[in-house]
A and B are shown apart, each in its own frame.
Chain A
């Protein structure tokens, strides 16, 4: 939050409203609070909850804490022997690291003003004895996470702990509200409001598309529609964003951006400190490795991602704060508002996928409002060039494409209901009322809530055979109470909404240490089990910035040794975590359709588009272009829908089913963010043209009915979603370190439970929650539906003799999901050249 950078001459006049100590503190430094900081203070003092929307570097965090700090400063001292007063202000952030960072930054002014205010953090890393002490002697300001709040309110003495609560400060609210953690937090807030009806909330957020959604989120929805007050701070200087103007050939496909390494390295050399953002962990590892390959000046370049061991991450963060690094390669772990030293350049490698996300990341450089941020976008392939261009224009236009908020998830609600029973016996109707004051659950109906409570009690099955095993039971007075203390213990161990795929610790050892003592080396971090499963001892891979040799798995740890100088397999690039936003997709389509805009594109990309225009065509902005062509002994169809990989994957599954029924004998498909390619035995082009299978029928919206249901039921996507829902709702337990040893044959896997439940109780509440999740998250069904209705009557079919230039990128993805070593790399590169020659007619 950079208290040391609050200089704002124009707002000096307002300083009078502050208590003496604060005014003096600002004055001594020749500073003044900003207008929005005072505005927020005044409104909060007047009893309002407030949403503050401001760009990075606007002094947002100090604004959020001013009401608390001034209130606490003027409070009479606690007399010796007087009872502890409980928590005054609760600060909640999505990241542990953020809580730690705020602690550091808030501590400074408090100390300098000699304020008697106790500030402490409480996260999963806080030792048990400290957590215990925090309950008996709580700090004035407690900095914590949604999970810790859930645990605190699930204990019997929560009402006492929070009786004196005045403020809840919610940082990075725009990021919290879009996830299940946000749902959990909203329910926690609802409970806090029951303890303290006049509780004031202060939400801090980056710019969002729909501020009103966040305003509702901050206040009880009683009646529905109530909103917090809003203060908006306009953005400071416009960022200066450019696309890397590469002298190298921009590749047709792929995500590595290897072509640009030299130019990226030059940019790092030209700046003080550079933050390099990538979309996935494997990209981060790859980029880091490649940069060190060319790092002739041995610049201090570091790596930071969420799978690394925590001590490694802290080391990088501290070096960053001390300005000891020239560059950090990072994934989204550094996305949020953490203030890391003097960054003067952000390089984004790969497409940003959303304009709001890009704005956030770029905000990391020049962390002050009045100087422009500098950023360079490095597209990894040609479609990404278009996407980067669209994102730049959006950023200049201030376009926002944050995802819409979802209805409160039922698995989260089940977890909360159990937590509330752990706190104290509850009345169902009263709890429902409380839950409905949380914005995501404002429209929860009574019947659904009853089913969730039934689920918590006995599993909620149509076959009522578990009455005697109920985890919560109704007392004579009609209150639900926990039937055994061990269920409360179970709840505490499983709280939270983050369900990670199973991971193993990665530990260093000596190479080929046979039999005996393999342990003892340092831990490097955690890596997903599904990736390790594909390795054979002797295989090499990139992790923690090193080339490692896989030695084997023992006792649930993965042992590796150093393998410098060897070529490494790269962990599978599973595609971007984030789908292309609807807004950017529309922009890319518009750009394709408008040759006038091509002159802002690099020459080689503009050339690619104009040859496409010659050889095939470019669709108009609202049209869907479908190309068909033969290649080898197969027939291909490529649809350029630009709706993101998830929606394309769903579309691919559904179209393949239909083509199968129509007798086209489809063989497979591949989806990218931009296009979908399906290949088949039979000539689909002729089927479309000849009327045997009109395209309008193939793309008819009714595919979202029975076909979708039938496919969904079988889909592994749904199984994966079910696992998360089952864990969050408490049906199955999280895996805890040390428990894995019980062996696979003893645990009941979520997949098996899913199969049984789907066959025997298809209307179960948990399956309902699973379907809702999958439709929104993994399948992008609503987006697909919008697309199908948009393109009705606007499908343009082009039957070609051979592959078109636009089709090359998606065709190169076929069979490319796995990297298998050097020979395969060579074959791929040969194949790539063939396709290019064919398409461009060189």
Chain B
């Protein structure tokens, strides 16, 4: 086995991209940061997914909420955002916020303190999370940008959405590499899922049909400490 792993690709500086001319940073942990407005976006946290499975008899380790909050805390500490948008499916189901152990609830509250926090409604959590502060919205507009959970086909430029859990696959030296990714054609963007137990759906899947212009499309794949931008032609299905 040859271990000289190598993912030949190019990337923009520190994952810097533009969506409808707004500059944003793709954090390799899966968060999007707008330095000018100091807005941080995360999507599909799926908090308490483990306990949602446990209710049905699959006793997954109950630490996913903790792991997701750890990651979120690190991202917040680095970017110091004024506003945080959680772009839907923040909890895995409508009872997630109630099920959340007290220690986790306290950590989440600490993260929320001192900044504006917006819960965008998702299909898993259409209602406001029970017993947590923050503003609740179906959709947010910030300048030319529109933040909503599910991407709309034919939406105006500037849409930032989640929901699909985009992932990308490339094949290099005969080996397939699969990662979560930011999926964008410069006009709109679909956020990677942020939660510790969230899987991926390949950006070439038919669920993405009609969302992007492939000529200008890039999958910004999440690496250990940077993102890797891959053009559409380099990507594989499956």
User: What is A's interface to B at a CB cutoff of 8 Å?
Assistant: 458-459, 461, 463, 465-466, 469, 471, 484, 486-487, 490, 529-530, 532-534, 536, 553, 572, 649, 652-653, 656, 667-671, 731-733, 743-749, 752-753, 755-757, 759-761, 764, 814-815, 817-820
Contact = CB atoms under 8 A, between A and B. Distances in A.
Contacts of A749: 199
A487 B55 CA distance: 12
Given A667-B4, A748-B60, A749-B199, 20 more contacts: A459-B60, A463-B63, A534-B174, A534-B176, A731-B59, A731-B60, A744-B165, A745-B198, A747-B199, A748-B49, A748-B199, A752-B198, A753-B60, A755-B67, A756-B61, A756-B64, A757-B63, A760-B67, A817-B174, A818-B174
A747 B46 CA distance: 13
20 contacts: A459-B59, A459-B61, A463-B62, A465-B51, A486-B57, A490-B57, A533-B176, A534-B171, A652-B3, A668-B2, A669-B3, A731-B60, A743-B201, A744-B199, A748-B49, A753-B60, A753-B61, A756-B64, A757-B63, A818-B173
B67 A759 contact: yes
Contacts of A815: 2
A533 B236 contact: yes
Given A534-B176, A745-B201, A759-B63, A732 B51 contact: no
Contacts of A814: 2
Nearest to A819: B174
Main secondary structure of the interface of B (DSSP, over half): loop
Interface in B150-205: 164-165, 167, 169, 171, 173-176, 193, 196-202
Given A459-B54, A534-B176, A752-B197, A760 B61 contact: yes
A820 B174 contact: yes
A764 B59 CA distance: 13
Interface in B211-238: 236-238
A649 B53 contact: no
B122 interface: no
A144 to B, nearest CB: 28
A755 B64 CA distance: 10
B59 A471 contact: yes
B115 to A, nearest CB: 26
B196 A744 contact: no
Contacts of A667: 4
B1 interface: yes
B58 interface: yes
B138 interface: no
A745 B164 contact: yes
Interface string B59-102: 11111101100000000000000000000000000000000010
B54 A760 contact: no
A484 B54 contact: no
A836 B64 CA distance: 55
Contact of B54 (A466, A534, A652): A466
A670 B238 contact: no
Contact of B57 (A471, A534, A760): A471
A744 B200 CA distance: 6
Contact of A744 (B51, B61, B64, B201): B201
Contacts of B237: 553
B62 A459 contact: yes
A760 B64 CA distance: 9
A403 to B, nearest CB: 22
Contacts of A536: 236
Given A669-B3, A745-B164, A752-B197, A553 B51 contact: no
B1 A670 contact: yes
B61 A761 contact: yes
Contacts of A529: 238
Contacts of A553: 237-238
Interface residues of B, number: 40
Contacts of B198: 745, 752
B2 A466 contact: no
A124 to B, nearest CB: 23
A817 B1 contact: yes
Nearest to A649: B1
A733 B60 CA distance: 11
A752 B61 CA distance: 10
A170 B238 CA distance: 42
B2 A572 contact: no
Contacts of B1: 649, 670-671, 817
Contacts of B2: 668-670, 814-815, 817
A818 B175 contact: yes
Nearest to B178: A533
3 cross-chain pairs, A with B, having the tightest CB-CB distances, nearest first: A818-B174, A459-B59, A760-B63
A568 to B, nearest CB: 15
Contacts of B202: 744
A732 B58 contact: yes
Nearest to A558: B238
Nearest to B61: A757
Contact of A533 (B64, B67, B165, B238): B238
A188 B175 CA distance: 41
A753 B195 CA distance: 12
A475 B180 CA distance: 45
Contact of B59 (A469, A532, A759): A469
Contacts of A759: 63, 67
Interface in B116-166: 164-165
Given A533-B171, A732-B58, A668 B238 contact: no
A744 B55 CA distance: 21
Contacts of B62: 459, 461, 463, 465-466
A454 to B, nearest CB: 11
Nearest to B163: A745
B63 A458 contact: no
Contacts of B4: 667-668
A756 B164 contact: no
Nearest to A483: B57
B43 to A, nearest CB: 12
B196 A656 contact: no
A570 B49 CA distance: 41
A714 to B, nearest CB: 11
A761 B175 contact: no
Contact of B3 (A461, A487, A668, A731): A668
B60 to A, nearest CB: 6
Contacts of B173: 817-818
Residue of A529, A536, A760 with highest tally of chain B CB at under 10 A: A760
A745 B101 contact: no
Nearest to A463: B62
Contact of A748 (B53, B55, B57, B174): B53
Interface in B17-76: 49, 51, 53-55, 57-64, 66-67
Nearest to A575: B1
A765 to B, nearest CB: 12
A225 to B, nearest CB: 37
Contacts of B175: 534, 818
A654 to B, nearest CB: 12
Contacts of B197: 748, 752-753, 756
A476 to B, nearest CB: 23
Residue of B1, B66, B165, B174 with highest tally of chain A CB at under 10 A: B1
Residue of A746, A752, A753, A755 with highest tally of chain B CB at under 10 A: A752
A459 B51 CA distance: 11
A533 B235 CA distance: 11
Given A533-B236, A670-B2, A760-B66, A745 B199 contact: yes
